[in-house]
Amino acid sequence: MILHQPKIIKRVELPLSKSECNRWLILQDLFPHAFNISNLSDAEDTQILQQLLAEKPHVYNCGLAGTVFRFLTARLSILPGSHIVTGNERIKERPIEPLVDALRQLGASITYLENDGFAPLKITGKPLERNEVDIDNSHSSQFVTALMLLAPALPHGLTIRCRAMGVSAPYIYMTAQQLETIGVRIKIRGNEFRIYPFTPATLPRTIVPEPDWSNASYGYGLVLLGNSSEIYFPGLKRPSFQGDAVVADYFGQLGVETIFTGGGIRIRKYQNHQQPSALNLNLSGSPDLAQTLMVAAAAVGVPFHFSGLHTLRIKETDRLEAMRAELQKVGINIDITNDAAQWEGGQSMHPPLAPFATYNDHRMAMALSMLAALFPIEITNADVVKKSFPDFFKAFF
């Protein structure tokens, strides 16, 4: 796909948060009469999960959807019958052992069918009577979330003790807020979560998921780099379930103002903004913003140091290595370590010397597309955006 200058836009309807919707879908499958969901994200991940929960096949093929794979691993541990959970080749490279170990502590019957610690899995669903578990969540907050979603369906509830809370902690607290929204009792003390068994209310309530703050980040980047004087995103608000709402603060440092209207947000450039000498952020709580911020900061010449990024190595691709390779095409040489990315500045960005690769990663495609505000670019396999924002290019280009 060849992209030129983004169109002048005034309003963008963002997809609903797939992070929220996927949690609601698991909870609705566990408690089908507890609540109704007003609408769902059209992101591919959410559509996959919805279909699998509706069909309940013997083999659950999650495709590229890591969230779906992890949430289903926990959900199927108590669903009677024999189940296979798998995905594409990248899913088979992403760790699942910490979650499997935790579920086995509770008595779950889970077997690795190929390589220990990785998909595919065979799960024999059965009642789980134990009510305490320790988990290593240093790789992903989704391991903890999978257990939290399962917890209120267990006969004695569940106490979850996490090794640490530094990895994508806002997503764990998002899950806690969603559980409390439908009436689940939770006690949080440090790294310990006590979740009680849930009895749904007599009358179901209707849940209205929020639009996706992560996907709003690309609009921020296009306002910063392009000609759109202002974009309105209906439905976004603070406080929000989503930790990525912090994008408003991060782009505020780069020169984009966020105005909360009650019905949504308006974003526009600050007048006479002076860029910071550097942007130093710990993104462990919002790693999905890393690629957007790397592209945006480099494009406006702001040196950066982003830490807390070790989970980017095990996403849809190795996002740190992928960003290093793609930014080289526009003259930006970033330094990466296991958990950080740094650019010291001093290099001018130029039109790409080759088409941008996406590595089958939706966030690579959307982050790099922001550079079309500066010069024409070509992106290969651009339809990968369907994973989270199917209408991305229609909305912005």
* Domain total in the chain: 2
Give the pLDDT band of residue 164 (cuts 50, 70, 90).
low
Nearest CA to 43 out of 61, 28, 71, 64 is that of 64
pLDDT at 19 over 70: yes
Average the pLDDT over each of 37-46, 144-153, 200-209, 253-262 and give the range with the smallest value: 200-209
pLDDT at 4 over 90: no
Answer with the one of 166, 198, 230 that is the final residue of a domain: 198
The answer to whether residues 333 and 257 belong to one domain is yes
The mean per-residue pLDDT over the stretch 52-73 comes to 96
Host domain of residue 192: 18-198
Q: What is the pLDDT of residue 48?
A: 97
Q: What is the pLDDT of residue 195?
A: 97
pLDDT at 141 over 90: no
% helix, strand, coil for the chain, step of 5: 40, 20, 40
Q: Which residue has the higher pLDDT, 163 or 95?
A: 95
The mean per-residue pLDDT over the stretch 269-285 comes to 94
Nearest CA to 68 out of 95, 89, 44 is that of 44
CA dist 46 and 37 (Å) reads 13
CA-to-CA separations, 295 to 197, 276, 302, 331, 352, in angstroms, rounded: 45, 16, 10, 12, 13
Residue of 29, 288, 335, 339 marked catalytic = 288
Average the pLDDT over each of 15-19, 161-165, 217-221, 322-326 and give the range with the smallest value: 161-165
The mean per-residue pLDDT over the stretch 220-240 comes to 90
The answer to whether residues 40 and 179 belong to one domain is yes
Answer with the one of 198, 231, 254 that is the final residue of a domain: 198
pLDDT at 170 over 90: no
Burial tier of 181 (Cβ tally within 10 Å: 0-12, 13-18, 19+): middle
CA dist 161 and 163 (Å) reads 7
Q: What is the pTM of this model?
A: 0.91
The answer to whether residues 177 and 322 belong to one domain is no
Q: What is the DSSP string of 247-287?
A: HHHHHHHHTEEEEE-SSEEEEEEPTTPPPPS-EEEE-TT-G
The answer to whether residues 100 and 223 belong to one domain is no
pLDDT tens digits for range 95-139: 999 999 999 999 999 999 999 999 999 999 999 989 999 998 877
H-helix or E-strand spanning residue 26? helix 18-30
Instruction: Assign residue 121 a region (left: φ > 0; alpha: ψ between -120 and 50; beta: otherwise).
Output: beta
pLDDT at 191 over 90: no
The mean per-residue pLDDT over the stretch 67-91 comes to 97
The mean per-residue pLDDT over the stretch 355-368 comes to 97
Q: How many Cβ atoms are within 10 Å of 176's Cβ, its own excluded? A: 18
Give the pLDDT band of residue 8 (cuts 50, 70, 90).
confident
pLDDT at 277 over 90: yes
Determine the distance from the C-alpha atom of residue 264 to the mean position of all C-alpha atoms in its chain, rounded to a whole number: 21
What is the CATH number for 80? 3.65.10.10
116 counts as catalytic:
no
